[in-house]
Amino acid sequence: MELETLLRSTCPCSFHAFSQDKSIYEAVENAFILIYIRKNPVEMAKQLLNLAIDSNIGDQAALEFIVNALVSKGEISSSMTSALWYFFWFNINGTTAEQSRAALSILCMAAKSSSRILGFHQKGQTDGGSG
């Protein structure tokens, strides 16, 4: 949990500011994957939502940068994308309006790197959003 606290407090700004330094970029990206990506898709989505909700505008830009990089590398799975859509659609119990907005924000970030992100939305529209 200490690594997560450190990453939450320093990652977005540091990632954006130091992204030209390959070793820092890779370390931050690997930590981000470990903390936010390699988990149960719903839990992973919820943690990303919390990160987005707690972020200022500069942190949002950095988050978009890393989300784009991870989508491009295939690190963000279709299950995680589906979980984000389910948060957006309020299909996960207890979802708040703030989480729904954050899910849409992250999905928009991801869609800039891959049009497949929008395919989940279209599928959800035709099947009622069921998993």
Closest CA to 121 of 76, 91, 86: 86
As for how many domains the chain has, the answer is 1
Enter the pTM of the model.
0.74
Please list, in sequence order, all residues whose beta carbon lies within 8 angstroms of the beta carbon of residue 46, skipping any fewer than 6 positions away: 87, 99
Distance CA 27, CA 86 (A): 30
Distance between CA atoms of 89 and 125, rounded to whole angstroms? 10
For residue 128, the number of C-alpha atoms closer than 13 Å in the C-beta half-sphere is 1
Domain housing 63 = 2-127
pLDDT averaged over 10-residue windows placed end to end, the chain, 131 residues: 51 50 76 76 90 86 85 87 94 96 95 81 47 43
